[in-house]
Structure 1
Amino acid sequence: MHQADGRILMKEPRRALVTDRERAGHTQESLATALGVDVKTVRNWENGTYKPRTPDLHRRLAEELRITRRQLTLRFDHTAHNEIDPPDQLAEHQARPPRLASVLEEALDSEEADRLSYSLHWPESVDHSTLDILQRCLTYIRHAEDDTSSSAVIPVVGEVQRIANSFANASRASIRRHATGLLSEVEQYRGWLAIPSRDWHTAQRHLDRATVVALESDDPLRLSTALSFSAYSALRRFDLSSADALSEAALRDKRVHAGLRAYELFQRAEILARSALRKASVALLLSADGLVEHLPDDTDLPSSGYWYTPPFFLGQKAFVLRALGDYSGARQAAVDCLAEMPPDWSESEWAARRRELAGAG
């Protein structure tokens, strides 16, 4: 115990945190190993002495405990004393749109941040390692979107887009394919972020450029992704003719990850169902289900496709079933999807259509 403002205060054990850990199947030792900290640190969290020192550690702890970051913040609200930062400051940090400076600080170590910062002033110095560092920044922002919204990350993605563009323009022949491939990924992500607000013009402008740049870099994964995102945009606009052509084009190149292939099969199955081509839609739905059963482990997923997981694809299946007229099956698939996805995903902006479908009568 300790004294503050003349009062005797006891450290209050965070019993809910212990319960979360046990429900997640972790011992103190296994949780410490998963997070790369010592067991004493985990004990200090649970006995009310400290909380995670950084937002990144806070995020990873929430993932291991299978709760949302908001729920984890509440676990620490009862012991505001002897902490590194008050919980409300951490909550404010999570709600605040990320800035490039904070992304560099939280996604990279100091040497990587220095290297990237130097390349911002001297794009001609960019090499493969520098591009990989910028890729990690983009991955960090994608996860930040899960916790905030598409509009919250658009400004920082715009900054990353300008950096990627300057790197591609200044790149030497030996790294040009790598640089243009990354630029394509940034452009397609920026186009994707415009869809929730129904800013169709901006979405298509960035997705069109993503497609062109992916063709230049001969990058099948990024080209196929850009085309499938364009098909999704067309589907949301009820432009079935364009959606059909774009989804067919997205499926042409077979040199893509199985997770992306599954996404595109579900997408095309929905398009065909909406076009009253029921038999073809059902056949593709079965093929997509088969692919999902054999998806690689999470560790083998591309950074741009960390969401290629069976729970996510249950949501895609729900949309196909709804288009086929199986409303009961669609609702159940959406319910199962939300139940099996990580809490941060199920409560995210992009899962809103899944939540709406799960709640349909």
Structure 2
Amino acid sequence: MPDLVPNDRLRLAREAMSSRRYPGTPMGRTELAALVAQWIERHDEKGRSHPFDAVHLGKIERGVVKRPGPIIRAALCAVLDASECDLGFLRPPDADRVAQAASGRLATDSAAIDAVAQVLASVRRLEDAAGAAEVLPTVRAQAALATQLADNARGNVRPKAVGLLSELEQYQGWLNIPLQRWDESRRYLDRASVLALEADDPTRLSTALSFAAYRNLRRNDLRSADALNEAAARDDRVNIGLRTYVTFQRAEVLARDGSRTEALARLREADRLSEHLPPADELPDSGYWYVPSFFHGQRAFVLHALGDHSGAARLAREAIAMMPESWRDAEWAGRRRALAELES
């Protein structure tokens, strides 16, 4: 049997956190395990208890369990306000590569960037179940790590590193919208746009601009939403899923601004685009939600803005029924649920 390699990063992160039960002393395994189990229970669809305990935590710290399941990793990151890299959950070669690149001992390479991107992909799906507030600390920690990787990237690797950092800034901007932290959201999205321009990454630039347009739609700032949406649509190098989203968004902006004829024209264009979406298993991690059920809801928003409230409610109900079950209670699906209840 190979020698066990203790997870000292997790142990040190636990010991660096002060106990809530006994202030002034490090947090023990039993206390941390209870907080992790409570976090998981809060985010379980049915509120079921979870068997995670100090024995399981001890196995992780001793290296018996190298990489626990996604929900346990997410809970530990949330409770300890740390990234997966901070807690030693990246696979050993990836963890060493990321740590050395982040510290500047080695130049950042593609493998280090890919390791952080994989964590981001799992956090996006966790947001569907847990909500923005719960995943934001993890995303913030990943963004700090990506900043170090970008600072230490050279040559052809730098655009890839800067592009990943842009995506993390963009995601922080998105997560601050449901929390109504409008200034923070704008700051992150502005930075994401600048970084995407530096990386010459049209998809990340268009996404950041469309999220900024969505932010302004939520604040009923139609002039800014219109300008940002128009900017998001300028580069035709983006994938069809994002182009479809931007076009539906354009239709909603125009409808809310009273431009009915033009809104209907953009709605027809968006409908045509949605007929050519790739299969869900071919979508990138950064746009896994660009599927028919998602866009059915976008169409409902446009109908509601055009004054067809009954049609919007019907489409919203259909959209929710079409969604994967794990999406139906997601924070971002709240607008769809509200429309679906208009005739209730």
Query: What TM-score, normalized to structure 2?
Result: 0.76
Which residue in the other structure is 1:65 paired with? none
Over 3 Å counting, the alpha-carbon distance change for 1:133 and 1:349 in structure 2 is same
Which of 205, 212, 230 is the equivalent residue of 2:187? Answer: 205
CA distance in 2, matches of 1:69, 1:106: 25
CA deviation after TM superposition for structure 1 residue 293, in Å: 1.3
CA deviation after TM superposition for structure 1 residue 341, in Å: 0.7
CA deviation after TM superposition for structure 1 residue 352, in Å: 1.1
CA deviation after TM superposition for structure 1 residue 109, in Å: 3.4
1:185 aligns with 2:167: yes
1:126 aligns with 2:108: yes
- What are the Cα deviations for residues 241-290 of structure 1, in whole angstroms up to 9, with x where unaligned? 00000000100000001000000001010000011111111111111111
CA distance in 2, matches of 1:92, 1:188: 23
Quote the sequence identity (%).
46
Which residue in the other structure is 1:152 paired with? 134
Which residue in the other structure is 1:165 paired with? 147
CA distance in 1, matches of 2:89, 2:321: 29
**One-letter amino acid of the counterpart of residue 133, structure 2:** S
CA distance in 2, matches of 1:284, 1:332: 21
- What are the Cα deviations for residues 202-250 of structure 1, in whole angstroms up to 9, with x where unaligned? 0000000001111111100000001101100111111000000000010
CA distance in 1, matches of 2:121, 2:260: 37
CA distance in 1, matches of 2:199, 2:83: 29
CA distance in 2, matches of 1:249, 1:91: 37
**One-letter amino acid of the counterpart of residue 295, structure 1:** L
Over 3 Å counting, the alpha-carbon distance change for 1:92 and 1:256 in structure 2 is closer
1:194 aligns with 2:169: no
CA deviation after TM superposition for structure 1 residue 100, in Å: 4.0
Which residue in the other structure is 2:3 paired with? none
Over 3 Å counting, the alpha-carbon distance change for 1:270 and 1:292 in structure 2 is same
CA distance in 2, matches of 1:199, 1:238: 15
Over 3 Å counting, the alpha-carbon distance change for 1:284 and 1:171 in structure 2 is same
Does structure 2 conserve the Cα–Cα contact (< 8 Å) formed by 1:227 and 1:249?
Answer: yes
What RMSD in Å do the two structures reach over aligned CA positions?
Answer: 2.7
Which residue in the other structure is 2:201 paired with? 219
Which residue in the other structure is 2:252 paired with? 270
Over 3 Å counting, the alpha-carbon distance change for 1:209 and 1:325 in structure 2 is same
CA distance in 2, matches of 1:305, 1:140: 13
CA distance in 2, matches of 1:97, 1:128: 24
1:254 aligns with 2:236: yes
Does structure 1 conserve the Cα–Cα contact (< 8 Å) formed by 2:250 and 2:266?
Answer: yes
Over 3 Å counting, the alpha-carbon distance change for 1:282 and 1:123 in structure 2 is farther
Aligned pairs for 1:22-61 (under 5 A) are none
Which runs of 5 or more residues in structure 2 are unaligned? Answer: 1-42, 57-68
**One-letter amino acid of the counterpart of residue 192, structure 1:** W
Q: Secondary structure at the match of 1:125?
A: coil
Over 3 Å counting, the alpha-carbon distance change for 1:147 and 1:114 in structure 2 is farther
1:344 aligns with 2:319: no
Does structure 1 conserve the Cα–Cα contact (< 8 Å) formed by 2:83 and 2:142?
Answer: no
CA deviation after TM superposition for structure 1 residue 111, in Å: 3.0
CA distance in 1, matches of 2:106, 2:100: 10
Which of 70, 78, 93 is the equivalent residue of 2:45? Answer: 70
Which runs of 5 or more residues in structure 1 are unaligned? Answer: 1-67
CA deviation after TM superposition for structure 1 residue 92, in Å: 8.7
Over 3 Å counting, the alpha-carbon distance change for 1:96 and 1:130 in structure 2 is closer
CA distance in 2, matches of 1:220, 1:184: 11
CA distance in 2, matches of 1:214, 1:339: 35
**One-letter amino acid of the counterpart of residue 293, structure 1:** E
Does structure 2 conserve the Cα–Cα contact (< 8 Å) formed by 1:107 and 1:140?
Answer: no
Over 3 Å counting, the alpha-carbon distance change for 1:318 and 1:106 in structure 2 is farther
CA deviation after TM superposition for structure 1 residue 114, in Å: 3.5
Query: What TM-score, normalized to structure 1?
Result: 0.73
**One-letter amino acid of the counterpart of residue 272, structure 1:** L
**One-letter amino acid of the counterpart of residue 334, structure 1:** A
**One-letter amino acid of the counterpart of residue 313, structure 2:** R
Which residue in the other structure is 1:42 paired with? none
Does structure 2 conserve the Cα–Cα contact (< 8 Å) formed by 1:103 and 1:141?
Answer: no
Which residue in the other structure is 1:323 paired with? 305
Of 115-124 and 223-232, the range deviating more from structure 2: 115-124
CA distance in 2, matches of 1:107, 1:315: 36
Which of 279, 283, 289 is the equivalent residue of 1:301? Answer: 283
CA distance in 2, matches of 1:230, 1:341: 25
CA deviation after TM superposition for structure 1 residue 123, in Å: 6.2
CA distance in 1, matches of 2:156, 2:283: 26
Does structure 1 conserve the Cα–Cα contact (< 8 Å) formed by 2:77 and 2:83?
Answer: no
1:109 aligns with 2:91: yes
Does structure 2 conserve the Cα–Cα contact (< 8 Å) formed by 1:150 and 1:193?
Answer: yes
